[in-house]
Chain A
Amino acid sequence: MTDFLQFIEDNLQITYILILSIFVGIEVIKSIPAVLHTPLMSGANALSGVVIVGAILVMLHADPADYLALALGFVAVVLGVLNVVGGFAVTDRMLQMFKKKK
């Protein structure tokens, strides 16, 4: 328990950001019509690809002789980019259809 309290004390800013972000996420999504659930899910999915930033950091920090780290980082970047580019592109395609009016 004291460890946990100490953790919060040491990471006070992060804890605040964490909690506020949770509420922002809830508030932003709360009143979305069912019509948009599919594009929203796909858009949020693309956003979760922000993990790509971490994958790039792994590669930047990697020792050029550490082939395993480089290989894992490489795959992580490829998968992360797939998630981001594919996610945003397909969401855009879906929303394009909603707009199409004769």
Chain B
Amino acid sequence: MDILLNIIYLIATITFIVGLKKLGHPETAKKGNLIAASGMGLAILGTIFIHELAVPPLIYILIGLAILIGSIIGWLIAIKVEMTKMPELVSLFNGFGGASAALIGLVEYSKNVSDVTQATTIVAGVIIGAITFSGSLIAWGKLNGSLKSVVKIPFYNPINNLLFIGIIAFAAFMIATGVDSQLLLYALLASGLAYGVLFVLPIGGADMPVVISLLNSLTGIAAAITGILYDNMVMLVGGILVGSAGIILTIAMCKAMNRTLGSVIFGAFGGGEAAVVGNKTLGSIKSTNPSDAAIMMNYASNVVIVPGYGLAVAQAQHVIHELEEMLSKRGVNVKYAIHPVAGRMPGHMNVLLAESNVEYHMLVEMDDINPQFSNTDIVLVVGANDVVNPAAHNDPASPIYGMPILDVENAKHIIVNKRGMNAGYAGIENELFYNSKTSMLFGDAKAALTDLVAELKNM
């Protein structure tokens, strides 16, 4: 019996590696996901049915019920969620995984407390699981807007670091003394939860994807630690794969925003000092209307569309596709310029545009499109702000200084669609709007683009 289960775990482990590998290529990604999912299903079924324990039927019923409930809820959420809500969804699911790891530790502690190795893995699982759970929930709240303000706590870093050291010391004490107290374990759980909240709360919205990726990685580590506890290879390898992949992904995202991991965790992006630039006189603003914008675009030969999260919020992905098709039909060369962190997480914009049937080859990545802006007649910026902010190049005081951006100011003319003159997600003023080549097309993205399309139709 044991041999069969171990072989199933081995197969599952292989599917995880192959699946993850295939997820890395656009053509094979879907297959990769299915391969990993089937391996996971196999591992779950094997765990339930192949063992030598005499398990009362009641427990089987409970397990079946739990799986049924979890599957139905998970499936419904996955089917119904809007693609714009993807980052918060990943964060929420990730929190559930972390909570699951922490709960396992709570049950297993008293049975294994005498063995130092086992006690260490359990305590570590509880702490990491608790941190990822509360941290992910805070990230979720921040992304969906229910936790809006950036919370500033005085002496934040010392308090946070002290709490972290305290947790480690507390855990070391519990392991060293082998004290069998559920009460202390719950206290440890509570302090882990508190640390998760404190860890994520002061981090600014723009850095949230990095945090989610990091928390994702931590859940993997929690799963791996639980794998050591049970001497279970599929959990160990699966968890470590997610852990190390998550770290690499986190670093890749930091690079795309020209931030270091340390500055994300310890510096509050989009915080107090950032808004200072706003009071400088930056010149005057020119506004335009859909009819003029339509005429300009109709007679242009090269148009680049820069979509941002504002486009998705206004549900204007479909209208922009219509606009792009119409211009293409009239012989205008249209492309989309995709910043690596456009949307709310890397690659998010690609998903959103793919949803509205935009052809994959029309999406051009930043490094490829940047040299082409000087040959571009019109750049249409819709709902994007920080990723086209020249302050990243020329204002060393700006919090986004050094971040790679789309060099739209090199184009002959720039049309920016925005609801109003509010600053972007990172809370920074954008001098692009005051550029003499820029015209502002104020209004809700969907309404403005619909007007634009209507004007084009009449031409």
By a beta-carbon cutoff of 8 Å, the part of chain A in contact with chain B is 7, 10-11, 14, 17-18, 21-26, 28-62, 64, 68-70, 72-102
| A45/B93 in contact, CB under 8 A | yes
Residues of A within 8 A of B100 (CB): 49, 51-52, 54-55, 76-77, 79-80, 83
Contact among A22, A39, A102 with B244 in the assembled complex (CB-CB below 8 Å): A22
Query: Given the interface contacts A18-B236, A32-B24, A73-B107, does A45 sit within 8 Å of B97 by beta carbon?
Result: yes
Query: Given the interface contacts A29-B245, A43-B33, A70-B59, does A61 sit within 8 Å of B53 by beta carbon?
Result: yes
Query: Given the interface contacts A37-B253, A42-B90, A50-B234, does A78 sit within 8 Å of B30 by beta carbon?
Result: no
Whole-angstrom CA separation of A7 from B116 in the bound complex: 10
Residue in chain B with minimal CB distance to A83: B97
Query: Given the interface contacts A44-B216, A45-B94, A47-B220, does A86 sit within 8 Å of B75 by beta carbon?
Result: yes
Query: Given the interface contacts A41-B345, A47-B238, A79-B70, does A28 sit within 8 Å of B17 by beta carbon?
Result: yes
Whole-angstrom CA separation of A53 from B318 in the bound complex: 42
| A99/B30 in contact, CB under 8 A | yes
Query: Given the interface contacts A41-B212, A51-B226, A90-B86, does A60 sit within 8 Å of B244 by beta carbon?
Result: no
| B351/A17 in contact, CB under 8 A | no
Contact among A37, A44, A53 with B242 in the assembled complex (CB-CB below 8 Å): A44
Contact among B97, B343, B350 with A51 in the assembled complex (CB-CB below 8 Å): B97
13 contacts between A and B (CB under 8 A): A35-B26, A36-B26, A37-B340, A47-B36, A47-B220, A48-B94, A49-B96, A51-B219, A59-B66, A62-B59, A77-B66, A86-B77, A90-B86
Distance of A73 from chain B, by nearest CB (Å): 6
| B220/A93 in contact, CB under 8 A | no
Task: Please report which residues of chain B, range 212-245, place their CB below 8 angstroms from some CB of chain A when the two chains form the complex.
Answer: 212-213, 216, 219-220, 222-224, 226-245
Residues of B within 8 A of A26 (CB): 244-245, 247-248
Distance of A72 from chain B, by nearest CB (Å): 5
Distance of B134 from chain A, by nearest CB (Å): 14
Residues of A within 8 A of B183 (CB): none
Residues of A within 8 A of B228 (CB): 11, 14
Residues of A within 8 A of B33 (CB): 39, 43, 46, 88, 91-92, 95
Is there a chain A Cβ closer than 8 Å to B348's Cβ?
A: yes
Q: How many residues on chain B are close to A (CB under 8 Å)?
A: 111
Residue in chain B with minimal CB distance to A14: B228
Residue in chain B with minimal CB distance to A57: B230
Whole-angstrom CA separation of A81 from B48 in the bound complex: 13
Is there a chain A Cβ closer than 8 Å to B20's Cβ?
A: yes
Whole-angstrom CA separation of A87 from B281 in the bound complex: 48
Can you add 18 more A-B contacts, CB < 8 Å, to A30-B248, A47-B40, A84-B40? A22-B243, A28-B241, A32-B249, A33-B26, A36-B29, A37-B253, A38-B87, A47-B16, A53-B44, A53-B232, A54-B227, A54-B230, A74-B62, A80-B96, A84-B74, A89-B75, A92-B30, A97-B354
